[in-house]
Copies of this chain bind each other. A is one copy, B any other.
Amino acid sequence: MVKYDAQLDAIFTALAHPARRAMLARLGTGDATVGELAQPLDMSLPAVTKHLKMLERAKLISRSKNAQWRPCRLETAPLTVVSGWIDEQRKVWESRLDRLEGYLQRLDRKEKKKR
């Protein structure tokens, strides 16, 4: 649970910046080098590297260890973790709404019997 929490913390923190989301969107179309990621964002290489480190920490991207230009690759698993977390929350609130609806229907039937 603590590990799952730490994982969600890292993912949400990484996603909380438009430049990092733009990089992920770019990597969705294919692997890219740091230079290629920096170009449309009009950002210095050190600034891009800093953002990439946060994405790497959250395991949202991986970087090739061998190639000299170390291209970045999107890793989709953490986004699936986020979807899973939202689905869990949705189940809870939807079951509450279902219970509420059931209660209101029973109330309605009782009222109709009284008349």
**Count of interface residues, chain A, beta-carbon cutoff 8 Å:** 28
User: Chain B nearest CB: distance from A3 CB in Å?
Assistant: 11
Complex Cα distance A85/B32, Å?
21
Whether a CB of chain B sits under 8 angstroms from the CB of A76 is yes
Would you give the 0/1 interface string for A3-30, flagging 1 where the beta carbon is closer than 8 Å to chain B? 0010011001101111001001100111
Contact B83–A30 (Cβ < 8 Å): no
Most chain B CB inside 10 Å of its own CB: which residue of A5, A15, A18: A15
Question: Which candidate, A38-46, A86-94, A103-111, is the interface stretch facing chain B?
Answer: A86-94
Q: What is the copy number of this chain in the assembly?
A: 2
Verify A79–B90 contact, CB threshold 8 A. yes
Q: Which residues of A are interface residues toward B (Cβ below 8 A)?
A: 5, 8-9, 12-13, 15-18, 21, 24-25, 28-30, 74, 76, 79, 82-83, 85-86, 88-90, 92-93, 96
**15 A-B pairs (CB sep. < 8 Å):** A8-B15, A8-B21, A9-B18, A12-B16, A13-B13, A13-B16, A16-B16, A21-B85, A25-B92, A28-B89, A28-B92, A30-B96, A79-B90, A82-B82, A83-B86
